[in-house]
């Protein structure tokens, strides 16, 4: 929002009032000496009337957003395979293994997710791995195993699309398409994923600003996606002790100021199972509309990301903890 001031306005007082209303202000100098101020987008929500009521304010201009389609999701829920995610909906538990390893493994995983109160089964058939020698996923065959397991246990399916080439195959088996952190700015992939008109879970790249993340979501919606759920999964920090830095400040901002659907993946943020439950509670208390966690029926044998995968009892506890955290968070 841009505001201009009357020539005789008490600039200091206007600035103080705006700061008191939670605004981040940038002073602008305009030609002709007229004072103007820019209210940065991450400021607290404020109506035009509230700004106009401040003594000394002459005009208020609302800058055009670079992501009008994403802005339309403000205060809305996204239909994620029959599960609403977003403002006002019950917090959702999305869980499952890092990768789909076998028909038996994914069926046991689906059972444990359903028993813990989860609504969506996650799991990768195409895995983005740092090393080409790591397990890269079973591909299309794994999608069939996953679909059958989810159907047998009343769950919806969310799985990652790694390449434009695989969009149709994944869409035939999944309810929600996932775009991974490493592909957040792969615009050709975003457009191909958007074009099949599915809901998309868009992970934040480990080095993306919120605006870059929002613009990636806009690409999906502009290409035809039926909705976007943002997923925070940790960004680059400076301290390796907690692997990535789980940015819960961004989550609170997205949930409470932008009011967009957002979930948190603590598994890829910290990479260790003992911190998943406290981080899920923190995420829900910060306003996240759900959590996505890795869980495995036999985590110690997992072909990828075993150290961060929850085993059945821990996942059941988490289902309970999530509900308790929501109750605490809403008072
Ligand atoms: C995943 O969720 O399977 C995954 C690979 O996560 P990320 O893209 O956040 O690294
Ligand atoms: Mn993983």
Phi, psi at residue 138, to the nearest 5°?
-90, 0
Residue-wise pLDDT for 240-257, tens only, equals: 999 999 999 999 999 999
31-45, 48-62, 103-117, 295-309: the lowest-pLDDT one: 31-45
pLDDT of 325 > 70? The answer is no
Ligand 2 centre and the CA of 321: distance in Å?
22
Q: Report which ligand 1 atom has the smallest distance to the Cα of 127.
A: 5
Q: Report which ligand 1 atom has the smallest distance to the Cα of 178.
A: 2
Is any atom of ligand 1 closer than 6 Å to the C-beta of 204? no
Q: How confident is the model at residue 319 (pLDDT cuts 50, 70, 90)?
A: confident
pLDDT at 331: 47
Going along 133-223, which residue ranges are E strands?
Answer: 156-160, 176-179, 199-203
Q: How confident is the model at residue 87 (pLDDT cuts 50, 70, 90)?
A: very high
Is any atom of ligand 1 closer than 6 Å to the C-beta of 227? no
- Comparing CA positions, the residue from 81, 84, 7, 2 lying closest to residue 48 is 2
Ligand 1 centre and the CA of 181: distance in Å?
6
Going along 233-310, which residue ranges are E strands?
Answer: 262-264, 290-294
Please give the model's pTM, rounded to 2 decimal places. 0.91
pLDDT at 322: 62
**Residue with the larger pLDDT of the pair 64 and 103:** 103
pLDDT of 324 > 70? The answer is no
Is any atom of ligand 1 closer than 6 Å to the C-beta of 41? no
pLDDT at 272: 97
Residue-wise pLDDT for 175-229, tens only, equals: 999 999 999 999 999 999 999 999 999 999 999 999 999 999 999 999 999 999 9
Residue located nearest, by CA, to atom 8 of ligand 1: 180
pLDDT at 328: 63
pLDDT at 327: 58
Ligand 1 centre and the CA of 323: distance in Å?
24
Ligand nearest to the CA of 123: 1
**Percent of the chain whose predicted confidence (pLDDT) is above 90:** 88
pLDDT of 38 > 80? The answer is yes
Residue-wise pLDDT for 269-281, tens only, equals: 999 999 999 999 9
Ligand 2 centre and the CA of 37: distance in Å?
45
pLDDT of 317 > 60? The answer is yes
pLDDT at 34: 78
Asked whether 178 and 201 are in contact (CB, 8 A), the reply is yes
Is any atom of ligand 1 closer than 6 Å to the C-beta of 98? yes
pLDDT of 329 > 60? The answer is no
Q: How far apart are CA 215 and CA 191, in angstroms?
A: 12
**Percent of the chain whose predicted confidence (pLDDT) is above 70:** 96
pLDDT of 13 > 90? The answer is yes
The DSSP element (H or E) to which 35 belongs, if any, is strand 35-39
Q: Report which ligand 1 atom has the smallest distance to the Cα of 123.
A: 3
Is any atom of ligand 1 closer than 6 Å to the C-beta of 180? yes
Q: Report which ligand 1 atom has the smallest distance to the Cα of 181.
A: 8
Q: Report which ligand 1 atom has the smallest distance to the Cα of 292.
A: 2
> Under 8 Å CB-to-CB from 118, ≥6 apart: which residues?
93, 94, 95, 96, 155, 315, 319
Residue-wise pLDDT for 155-165, tens only, equals: 999 999 999 99
Phi, psi at residue 5, to the nearest 5°?
-110, 155
Ligand 1 centre and the CA of 18: distance in Å?
40
Q: How confident is the model at residue 153 (pLDDT cuts 50, 70, 90)?
A: very high
**Residue with the larger pLDDT of the pair 47 and 114:** 114
Residue located nearest, by CA, to atom 9 of ligand 1: 181
- Mean of the pLDDT values across residues 49-54? 93
């Amino acid at each position: 929002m841009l505001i201009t001031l009357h020539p005789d306005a008490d600039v200091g007082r206007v600035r103080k009032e705006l700061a008191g209303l939670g605004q981040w202000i940038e002073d602008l100098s305009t030609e002709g000496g007229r004072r103007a101020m820019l209210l940065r987008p991450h400021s607290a929500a404020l109506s035009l009337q509230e700004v106009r009521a401040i003594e000394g304010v002459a005009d208020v201009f609302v800058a055009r957003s670079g992501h009008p389609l994403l802005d339309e999701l403000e205060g809305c829920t996204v239909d994620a395979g029959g599960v609403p995610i977003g403002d006002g909906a019950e917090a959702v538990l999305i869980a499952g293994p890092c990768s789909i390893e076998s028909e038996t493994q994914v069926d046991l995983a689906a059972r444990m997710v359903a028993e813990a109160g989860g609504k969506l089964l996650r799991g990768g058939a195409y895995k983005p791995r740092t090393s080409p020698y790591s397990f890269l996923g079973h591909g299309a065959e794994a999608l069939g195993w996953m679909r059958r397991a989810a159907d047998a246990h009343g769950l919806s399916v969310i799985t990652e699309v790694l390449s434009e080439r695989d969009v149709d195959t994944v869409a035939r088996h999944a309810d929600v398409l996932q775009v991974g952190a490493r592909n957040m700015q792969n615009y050709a992939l975003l457009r191909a994923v958007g074009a099949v008109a599915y809901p998309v879970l868009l992970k934040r790249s480990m080095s993306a600003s919120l605006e870059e993340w929002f613009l990636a979501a806009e690409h999906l919606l502009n290409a035809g996606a039926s909705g976007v759920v943002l997923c925070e999964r940790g960004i680059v920090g400076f301290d390796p002790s907690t692997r990535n830095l789980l940015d819960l400040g961004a989550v609170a901002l997205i949930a409470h100021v932008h009011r967009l659907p957002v979930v948190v993946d603590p598994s890829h943020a910290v990479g260790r199972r003992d911190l998943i439950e406290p981080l899920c509670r923190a995420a829900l208390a910060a306003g996240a509309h759900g959590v996505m966690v890795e869980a495995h029926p036999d985590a110690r044998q997992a072909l990828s990301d075993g150290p961060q995968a929850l085993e059945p009892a821990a996942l059941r506890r988490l289902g309970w903890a999530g509900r308790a955290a929501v109750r605490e968070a809403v008072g």
